[in-house]
C-alpha cells in the first residue's frame, strides 16, 4: 500500500535523479495545473447526452431531439457567418497542457479517469474535422515512430467514433517525459470533439485494460510513469468555477483537511470502480444504500440511482423532469440543499450550488441539475460536480488499487 499521507513529501520539488528507460530523469513528484477553455459555455443537457454516449447508454428521445436541434443550429450559424457571434456550447471547461514529440508540440487535453487512451487531433485528421484544435504532427518530431499495423477506435453509444493510427513518441507531463509512449493520432473524429476548438484530445487515466489500441493494447502514460514516481499515485484537487490541479507521486497535505478515508477499487473492468454506502439530502438522516460507481474526471455531472436522484429533487421547490432536456430542471433561483454521498467511512458533502449546473434558457430562469439518473448506464458515475467537493486520491498500487477521499477548503 502507499504509505500514509504524513510520510509523503509535502512539496513538488524534484526528488533526485536516476535513470530508467523509457523515462529520464527520475523525478519523484510533480504538479500540473488545468487551464480554462476560454470558449466554454455550460449546457447541462449536452453534458448528460455526452456522458450517456460515452458509456453506451441510450439517449432519451426528447434529449436526442434537443441535441439534433442544437447541431442544426450550429450548421445554420456557420452557413450564415454568425458562428463567431454565437459561440458554440463547448464540452470541456478545463483542460491540461502536455507536450508530445521532439521538439515538443503542446496540446491541451482532457484528463479523463474514465478512459485509457491518449489520443489527439493530428496532421492526419481531415481538415474539415479541425475547427481550431492544435494538432500533433509526427513528421515534425525527431522521436516519432509509427507502430505498423496498430490502430485504435473509440465507439460511442450513437455509433459515432474517433479512430486512427498509432505512433510512439516522447510525451511530457509536468517534469516527467515518457519516451516511446503510444500516441494515438486521430484520422477520424466524432462531431462532439470537432466542435470544441480548444480541446485537442483525451488523456486517459483509467487502467490500461480499457485501452483500445489493437491488435495489442498499449499502456497508459501513467502506467509507464508510475515507476519513476515516489509513489504510484495521483490526486485530483478540482475546483468550483476555477482551474484545479493534479499532483503525481505525492499526496500534498496542504491541499486537504483531516484524514484521508480509503476504499478499495475494483479495477477488473479498467475503471476506478468503488462501492458507495448511502446518501442524505440537506439536514435529513443519512440513508444507507449500497450502489457501485466509478470516479470519472472526464465527466461533468454526477449520475446516481434514480431513487437517490428523486429523493434529492423532492427537496427542491419547482424541480421536475423535463422530457426535452432529458433530466431534472428547476427554477434558477431555487435554494438547493447540500447532497451527502457516503464513500466507505467518508461522507462527501456536495454544496447545493454545485448541483445548480447551468441555465437551459437565455433568460436564465430554468436551470439543469448537476445530479441526474444513471438509468441504462449500469453503474453510477461520480463526475466533476461531486469530485470538486473533495480531495481525491487515485492510488494505483499494483494488486491493491484504492481511492482516497478527504475534505478540503471549498
The number of angstroms, rounded, from the C-alpha of 143 to the middle of its chain's C-alpha atoms is 29
Please pick, among 110, 112, 196, 322, the residue that the annotation labels catalytic: 112
Please pick, among 169, 196, 237, 296, the residue that the annotation labels catalytic: 296
Using DSSP, state whether 147 is helix, strand or coil.
strand
Give the separation between CA 259 and CA 4, rounded to whole angstroms.
10
Q: Which long-range contacts (CB under 8 A, 24 or more apart) does 357-363 make?
A: 357/42, 357/44, 357/47, 357/300, 357/301, 357/385, 358/42, 358/43, 358/44, 359/332, 360/43, 360/44, 360/45, 360/322, 360/325, 360/329
The number of angstroms, rounded, from the C-alpha of 274 to the middle of its chain's C-alpha atoms is 17
117 is annotated as an active-site residue: no
Give the torsion sign (CA, 109, 244, 227, 171): positive
How far from each other are the two terminal CA atoms of the chain, in whole angstroms? 29
Which helix or strand (DSSP H or E) is residue 233 part of? strand 233-237
Q: Which of 40, 191, 29 is nearest to 108 (CA)?
A: 40
Phi and psi, residue 49, nearest 5°: -60, -45
Helices 44-54/61-80 angle, 10° precision = 110
Give the separation between CA 42 and CA 90, rounded to whole angstroms.
7
112 is annotated as an active-site residue: yes
CB-CB contact of 234 with 130 (8 Å): no
Strand partners, 83: none
C-alpha to C-alpha distances, 29 to 3, 12, 26, nearest whole angstrom: 15, 5, 9
Q: Which of 146, 200, 153 is nearest to 169 (CA)?
A: 146
* 326, three cell numbers: 432529458
Phi and psi, residue 139, nearest 5°: -70, -20
What lies within 8 Å, CB to CB, of 7 at 6+ separation is none
As annotated, the active-site residues are 112, 296
Amino acid at each position: 500500500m502507499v504509505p500514509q499521507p504524513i510520510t509523503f513529501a509535502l512539496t513538488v520539488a524534484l526528488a533526485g535523479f536516476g535513470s530508467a528507460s523509457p523515462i529520464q530523469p527520475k523525478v519523484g513528484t510533480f504538479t500540473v495545473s488545468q487551464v480554462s477553455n476560454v470558449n466554454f459555455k455550460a449546457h447541462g443537457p449536452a453534458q448528460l447526452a455526452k456522458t450517456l454516449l460515452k458509456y453506451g447508454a441510450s439517449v432519451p428521445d426528447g434529449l436526442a431531439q434537443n441535441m439534433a436541434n442544437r447541431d442544426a443550429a450550429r450548421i445554420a450559424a456557420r452557413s450564415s457567418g454568425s458562428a463567431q457571434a454565437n459561440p458554440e456550447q463547448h464540452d470541456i471547461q478545463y483542460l491540461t497542457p502536455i507536450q508530445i514529440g521532439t521538439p515538443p508540440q503542446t496540446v491541451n487535453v482532457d484528463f479523463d479517469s474514465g478512459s485509457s487512451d491518449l489520443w489527439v487531433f493530428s496532421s492526419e485528421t481531415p481538415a474539415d474535422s479541425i475547427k481550431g484544435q492544435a494538432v500533433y504532427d509526427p513528421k515534425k518530431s525527431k522521436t516519432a515512430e509509427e507502430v505498423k499495423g496498430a490502430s485504435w477506435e473509440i465507439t460511442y453509444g450513437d455509433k459515432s467514433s474517433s479512430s486512427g493510427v498509432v505512433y510512439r513518441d516522447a510525451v511530457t507531463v509536468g517534469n516527467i517525459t515518457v519516451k516511446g509512449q503510444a500516441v494515438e493520432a486521430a484520422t477520424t473524429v466524432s462531431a462532439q470533439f470537432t466542435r470544441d476548438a480548444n480541446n485537442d484530445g483525451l488523456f486517459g487515466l483509467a487502467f490500461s485494460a480499457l485501452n483500445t489500441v489493437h491488435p495489442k493494447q498499449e499502456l497508459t502514460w501513467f502506467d509507464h510513469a508510475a515507476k519513476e514516481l515516489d509513489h504510484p499515485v495521483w490526486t485530483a484537487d478540482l475546483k468550483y468555477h476555477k482551474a484545479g490541479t493534479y499532483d503525481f507521486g505525492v499526496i500534498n497535505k496542504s491541499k486537504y483537511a483531516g484524514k484521508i478515508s480509503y476504499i478499495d477499487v475494483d479495477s477488473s473492468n479498467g475503471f476506478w470502480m468503488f462501492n458507495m454506502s448511502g446518501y442524505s439530502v440537506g439536514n435529513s438522516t443519512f440513508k444507507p444504500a449500497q450502489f457501485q460507481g466509478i470516479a470519472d474526471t472526464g465527466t461533468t455531472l454526477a449520475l446516481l440511482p434514480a431513487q437517490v436522484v428523486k429523493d434529492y429533487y423532492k427537496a427542491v421547490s419547482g424541480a421536475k423532469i423535463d422530457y426535452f432536456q432529458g433530466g431534472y430542471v428547476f427554477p434558477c433561483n431555487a435554494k438547493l440543499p447540500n447532497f451527502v454521498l457516503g464513500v466507505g467511512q467518508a461522507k462527501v458533502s456536495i454544496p447545493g450550488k454545485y448541483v445548480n449546473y447551468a441555465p437551459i434558457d437565455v433568460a436564465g430562469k430554468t436551470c439543469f441539475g448537476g445530479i441526474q439518473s444513471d438509468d441504462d448506464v449500469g453503474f453510477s458515475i461520480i463526475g466533476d460536480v461531486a469530485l470538486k467537493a473533495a480531495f481525491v486520491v487515485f492510488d494505483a498500487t499494483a494488486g491493491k488499487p484504492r481511492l482516497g477521499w478527504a475534505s478540503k477548503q471549498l
